[in-house]
Chain A
Amino acid sequence: MSKPLKQIHLAAHFPGVNNTTVWSDPRAGSHIEFSSFAHFARTAERAKFDFLFLAEGLRLREQGGHIYDLDVVGRPDTFTVLSALAAVTERLGLTGTINSTFNEPYEVARQFASLDHLSGGRAAWNVVTSWDAFTGENFRRGGFLPQEERYSRAKEFLATANELFDSWDGNEIVADQETGVFLRDAKAGAFVHSGQHFDIEGRFNVPRSPQGRPVIFQAGDSDEGREFAASSADAIFSRYADLDTGRAFYTDVKNRLARHGRRPDQLLVLPAATFVLGDTDEEARELAHDVRRQQVSGATALKHLEFVWNRDLSSYDPDGPLPDVDPDVSDTHISKGRAQVRMYRDPLAIAREWRERAEANNWSIRDLVIETGNRQNFIGTPETVARTINDYVQSDAADGFILVPHITPTGLDPFADKVVPLLQEQGVFRTDYEGTTLRDHLGLDAPA
């Protein structure tokens, strides 16, 4: 009956700017110093993970006109950290989120091609469309693009970058010291792109990199985002890490591939997932509860509620009931620069639902925010967690997971030490790297 066991893909997200990171824990270290990133990357590589993942921020978040100060604030530059990490690791893939709104294709293509050369073929790019005029205030082009144009710019940006990556076929450099031929083709790197967003031409100046192109990730969840991923991405970074929504998402995106002439194994589905480990399942549950309380202070709960209510709620008691007043649905937003705010598209309906749930369960504001926003995905003993992850992957809720520990930078260590060996014993996770490039780890074809 049985089909062969799927091999699990595992990656690690260095957590930073969000309230899942428990910065107040005595074990919490720096989220800026390179030693933290080096520790995290070495743990991921020791555990034979596919890659390390970095998110992006281009403007400090604000709420009510003030810089948001309750979460970790600040992060280093993605490209610089990834390139430095290439010096302290040998096989681990290096994935960076870089937006397509406040960058230009020539520069980003140079940076990713350079990273791929400097890491021996380990670069990956999570292509995101960036946010708004608020972020735009830090950049030359300023302003912002309407939602639909941001998407079309992203698509054209990626297509243009691919044209640049492909402008060298990989055979041009001869470097024959005897005959004096360095380049076989004087036109190496020649490109012309004329489109709605970019009208550029010339010569790309980075020769073809070990992977040909970086591995491409996409993270959008809208219909358009899923279609973009199905047409152009190698992996999709999803937020559905539970079984039922995970399977629904998985089925949906895998079914979209045929329309683009692609096979189901050409797009990996990798949700972000958190975990809490204990010596017993009960201990892990208690620990998970404690972690959630640390993640969501009363002040954080009120601020989180403000994402939906779009009002100053500072006079409310976080341990009391939800506000009777309805959300402000005007066009001005008190929360700026927070990606998750966009998840609340119908604030009135969400407020109604949250009030009903809070009343039914006798939840305070803080309880509600904990229950709706900060559920850990995998809780239990290492055995329980290993079994659950494997079940999810074998039942097609995901191809693997991008793990987000709540402690920086040592939070990945227990997973590497305790869960990974169990997955290896089950024969569903590699005991050593088989190839040298990220494309090898992910089982992806070389680009044409």
Chain B
Amino acid sequence: MSPSAASPSPASPAPSTSTPPAALHLAVALDGTGWHPASWREPVARPREVFTAGYWADLVAEAERGLLDLVTIEDGLGPQSSHFLDPGERTDQVRGRLDAVLVAARIAPLTRHIGIVPTTVATHTEPFHISKAIATLDYVSSGRAGLRVQITARPNEAAHFGRRTIPRIEAYESPDTQELVTELFDEAADYVEVVRRLWDSWEDDAEIRDVATGRFVDRDKLHYIDFQGRRFSVKGPSITPRPPQGQPVVTALAHATVPYRLVARQADIGFVTPQDTDQARAIVAEIRAERLAAGRADEPLHIFGDLVVFLDDDPAEAAARRERLDALAGEPYTSDARIFTGTPAQLADLLQELAAAGLSGFRLRPAVAGHDLPAITRGLVPELQRRDAFRHAYEADTLRGLLGLARPANRYAAA
């Protein structure tokens, strides 16, 4: 974690603790035209362009203009739905999305500093493929790649692949459900383990181009990973050399103990959804305890709070916008994350308050991408900068660098 940038100036509102305000990390979660299902109805939304490269390039350029640490790009192996586990039939919301890794690769050469973190679904894809894809994204972006790993328990998405059936979750607290969810997250943990081992399966100096002996690589510096798990086994090595960051940044969203364990075991950033500071403190404590249990207590872990944001200069305007969108959607918007409605200054207050509970950063989900993203970059960011709680310029070339994470040693290299 970054050290605190400065002590509070007398003008800035004092956070609820006596410690100085930490420099926050900020991410933005990009999903279609925004997180509110009626967001596409807003004049700024550009709904006809969601399937073009230019749309995504503009959003990420805006995020980079705001000096944000990273963007995440949502994905899924089926159409969006207003139901939690079932496909839907609505025709009044955005449906369809492009592959997030390909979107990330398409915008990477157009940006310089910002981290790019596409979502991948571990349940139905190959860790070998995603390992080389993210390693390549790291080459394409010169060290700014990450990965957000996700599971899916949707039976309809399993039917898109036909390799396994996933029983429909009926009662969330039932032992069967717990067993299913645990299995899917354990599989995701294995998946990340394979991805990480493959990133290390080439030592950094494996390519030698030794003309005298005619050897292009030193094969003693290439390593079989020999992973054996319950769901799959992978031999290795990768076909792609170790990426610029060594290990691109692994992230996951988590709402409960089982996914917290995935974060603790395998992630560099966990995205969590506290409703208030007490809950934030409890979540952080739980994840730290799992981190300790996983034997990784001495390795840095960022815990970012997720919030949906409606931002306007006047709080009444933001509330009215939310109401207007809810009316268009035909129902009040709900989310797994806390929904914030108000001004950039009010949001800055809230973020600093939550940060004091142990969060090192935030992933903001713009309710309307075309409106709330610029409100973050042009409203919230300057406000945090005035409080010495956010960077004034990019201070590193890689995503790990922005996050204050060192480039890891290769687990296979001889010490």
Interface residues of A, Cβ cutoff 8 Å to B: 23-24, 32-34, 38, 57-60, 66-67, 69-77, 79-81, 83-84, 86-88, 102-104, 106-107, 110-111, 113-115, 117-120, 137-142, 168, 173, 175, 177, 180-186, 188-189, 198-203, 205-207, 297, 299-300
Complex CA distance for A60 and B224, rounded to whole angstroms: 10
What is the distance, in angstroms, from B237's C-beta to the closest C-beta of chain A?
6
Chain A residues closer than 8 Å to B289, beta-carbon distance: none
Q: Which of A66, A80, A103 contacts B133, CB < 8 Å?
A: A80
- Assuming A79-B102, A107-B124, is B214 touching A300 (CB within 8 A)? yes
A182 to B136, Cβ gap below 8 A? no
Binds A, one of B13-21, B228-236, B272-280, B333-341: B228-236
Q: Which of A34, A117, A198, A202 makes the CB contact (< 8 A) with B109?
A: A34
Chain A residues near B106: list those with CB within 8 A: 83-84, 86-87, 118
Contact B129 A205 (CB under 8 A): no
Known: A175-B48, A206-B96. A115 touches B132 (CB 8 A): no
B261 shortest CB reach to chain A, Å: 23
Say yes or no for B193: interface residue by CB 8 A criterion.
no
Kindly specify which of B38-46, B373-381, B396-404 makes contact with the partner chain: B38-46
Number of A-B contacts (CB under 8 A): 224
Query: Lowest 7 CB-CB distances: which A-B pairs, in order?
Result: A83-B105, A137-B235, A80-B136, A114-B99, A76-B136, A77-B136, A175-B47
CB-defined A-B contacts under 8 Å, sample of 10:
A60-B239, A74-B202, A77-B136, A79-B105, A83-B105, A84-B106, A138-B128, A139-B126, A182-B40, A205-B95
Interchain nearest-CB distance for B204 vs A (Å): 12
In Å, the complex CA distance between A77 and B157 comes to 25
> Do the beta carbons of B47 and A182 come within 8 Å of each other?
yes
**B79 close to A205 (CB less than 8 A):** yes
Closest to B236 in A: A138
**Does any Cβ of A come within 8 Å of B207's Cβ?**
yes
Are A66 and B219 interface neighbours, CB within 8 A?
A: yes
Chain B residues closer than 8 Å to A203, beta-carbon distance = 78-79, 87, 156, 160
User: Nearest residue in A to B90 (C-beta to C-beta)?
Assistant: A186
How many angstroms between the C-alpha atoms of A67 and B219 in the bound complex? 6
Is A182 within 8 A of B91, CB to CB? yes
B10 at the interface (CB under 8 A from A): no
In the assembled complex, which residues on chain B have CB atoms less than 8 Å from the CB atom of A118? 52-53, 98, 102-103, 106
CB distance from B65 to the nearest CB of A (A): 18
Interface: B94 (CB within 8 A): yes
A71's nearest neighbour on chain B, judged by CB, is B216
**B405: min CB distance to chain A, Å:** 22
B359 touches A (CB below 8 Å)? no
Question: Which chain B residues lie closer than 8 Å to A198 at the CB level?
Answer: 162
Residues of chain A contacted by B107 (CB below 8 angstroms): 87
Asked if residues A205 and B105 are in contact (CB atoms below 8 Å), the reply is no
CB pair B162–A185 under 8 Å, yes or no, is no
State in angstroms the CA–CA spacing of A71 and B110 once bound together: 33
Other-chain contact of B140, A34, A57, A182, A202 (Cβ < 8 Å): A34
**Structural contact, A77 and B159, CB atoms closer than 8 A:** no
In-complex Cβ contact of A180 among B92, B108, B156 (8 A): B92
B residues 295-321 with Cβ under 8 Å of A? none
A172 to chain B, nearest CB (A): 9
Pick the contact of B76 from A77, A186, A205 — CB < 8 Å? A205
Task: Decide: B92 and A182 in contact? CB cutoff 8 A.
Answer: yes
